[in-house]
Amino acid sequence: MADSDSAKLPAGVLPDRAQPHALEIERAVLGAMLREPGVCIDLAISQFGHQEVFYAPAHRLIYSTLVELHNTTRNADLVSLAQLLRERGKLDAVGGEIYLAELDGSISTTVNIEAWCRILVKYATLRRMIDVCASSLMKCYDRDIDIGKLVDEIESDIYSVRHDEATHSVYGIQELIAKEVESLIDIMNNKVEVGIPTGFAAIDEYTGGLKKGEMFVLAARPSIGKTTLGLNVIRNVALHPTHPRAVAFFSLEMTEQQIARRLLCTEAQVAESSFWNHSFLDSDLDKLGRVAEKIENAQIWIDPTGGLSIAELRAKARRLVSQHNVELIVIDYLQLMSADERIENRQQEVAKISGGIKKLAKDLNIPVLVLAQLNREIDKNSSPNARPKLAHLRESGAIEQDADIVTFLHRNRDEAKNNAATSVEAEWIVEKNRNGRTGVVKLLFYPARMEFVPAAPGSDQFGPR
C-alpha cells in the first residue's frame, strides 16, 4: 500500500516537508491490536483517545474499525475486520485483505506496544503543534481581526496541545499509597511545605497554607479590608525572608500606582494619609527609603485591567507562570470580572467565572486567592457582630461549590472611623475547608497603615511585624 497523504499545511508554509510520523510504528501497533485484541486494543484506546494519532488515513480507518468491533462484538479479528470494511466499501481504501494480512504478521511480539503508542502520541502532538502554528500564521494575515482575541485564541490552542499530550492513566492503590506515605513523612519532617504560608500562622494551621491547584476565597462586605488583607498576604509571600515567591496580582478595582503606594507605606509602617495632610516626619521618609529597594526587588506582578474576562485572565496567567515562575495568583475581586460570552443571567455569569478560576488553578497547578464580595443580607441583621455565612456570597452559590476554601473577613466597620491611630479587632473566619477544619482566627486591624496582624503574639516567623 502506498503511503497516503496527510493533512496539509496552509499554502506556502513548508510545502515540501512531510509532518512528523512513523508508518512502521503505526503498522506495528495495528498488528499488535490484531494479534492480541483483548489487551492491545484497550491499551491503545487508553493511550490515544482518537484516531488522529495515526498519520495515514488508511491506518486511521483500520484503527477506528477495530475499536468499533471491539466495543460492539468483542470479536476484533482479521476476518471480522476485513468483512466489515468490505460491507462498507472501504476494504480497497486500506489496501485490501493482502495489506491487512501483512499487518497481522508484521510483528513477532506485542510486548513493546506501550512504547510504540508513546512514540505515536509524540508524533501526533508535534503534528498538532505544526497545525496550530500554521493556522495561527494564516490568521495573522487577516487585517480586520481583533488582535486581543487572536492572541488569546493562539495561546489557548497551544495550551490545549500541551494539555492533551498528557495521557490520563489509571493508578493502582498500592502505588498511590506508597507515594502518599512518603509525602506525609516529608511534610512531618519539614522537608516540603503543604502550601505557601500566608504569613498568618493561625490561618495556615487551619488550611495548610495556599495549596497548589486550590481556589482560596476571601470574602467580605465593602470597606471591611479584604483588599488590604489580600495585599498583606502578597507582601508576606513575596517578601518572605528565606523563600520569597513570585506573585501575580490582578486588581480590577485599584490602579497599579495605588497598589504600589499601599505596599510601600504598609511595609514602611507609615500612614499614607500623612502625606496628604502633611503630617509626615523626616523619619517616615527614611523608612520609605529603606523599604523601597526591598520591594523593588520583590517578584510582584500587577495587572490593573478593569472588567477582566476569564479568557484574558487565563492568557495572562499562563504567560506569567511561564515567563516569571509565578507561584501564586491573587484576584481582586471576582464579581468585577466578566465571562467570556454574553450571559443575561448574572448568577450564571458569576458561576462561569468561578468555574473558570477553579479550572485555572488546577491547570496551572498553583493556588489562586480570590477576593469576593458578600451581599447585603448580612447588613440587615440588627446585631453589629453578626458573622457572615456561605449564603451571603454575592450573586452565586457556585463560588461556594467551586472553592476549596472559603473564608470571611469580619469586623465592626464603625469602630475604625474614630480609631485611625489605634487597632480594631477583626476576625478571619474559615467557613468552608474541603480538606480540613473550620474556625475563627483573631486579628487586629491598623487603619492608619492598612495592615492586619495576628491578635496575639505567637511563633509566626512569617507574619507581619
Which residues in 152-297 belong to E strands, given as ranges?
A: 215-220, 247-251
Q: Is 253 a catalytic residue?
A: yes
* pLDDT for 233: 94
Give all domains of the chain, ordered by start, each with its CATH number: 23-165 (1.10.860.10), 194-454 (3.40.50.300)
Largest CA distance in the chain: 94
What is the reported pLDDT for 1?
42
Q: Tell me the mean pLDDT per 10 residues along the chain, length 465.
A: 45 65 90 85 78 88 87 80 89 88 84 88 87 83 75 74 58 73 78 84 89 91 88 92 91 87 82 66 70 84 85 83 90 83 77 88 91 76 67 73 89 65 84 88 86 69 40
Closest CA to 243 of 460, 462, 463, 459: 462
pLDDT of amino acid 460: 42
User: Grid coordinates in use for 253?
Assistant: 478595582
- In angstroms, the CA 444 to CA 453 distance is 5
Instruction: Please provide the DSSP assignment of 70-98 as one string.
Output: HHHTS---HHHHHHHHHHTT-TGGGTHHH
pLDDT at 114: 85
Q: With contact defined as beta carbons under 8 Å apart, do 56 and 50 qualify?
A: no
HSE (side-chain half, CA atoms, 13 Å) at 113: 26
Q: Report the interhelical angle of 23-35 vs 96-104 (nearest 10°).
A: 80
Kindly state the DSSP code that residue 210 receives in the 8-state scheme.
B
Of the listed 68, 180, 182, 253, which one is catalytic? Answer: 253
Query: Torsion angle of alpha carbons 433, 436, 442, 447, nearest 10°?
Result: -40
The residues pairing with 411 across neighbouring beta strands, listed in sequence order, are 426
3 state DSSP class of 370: strand
Strand partners, 454: 443
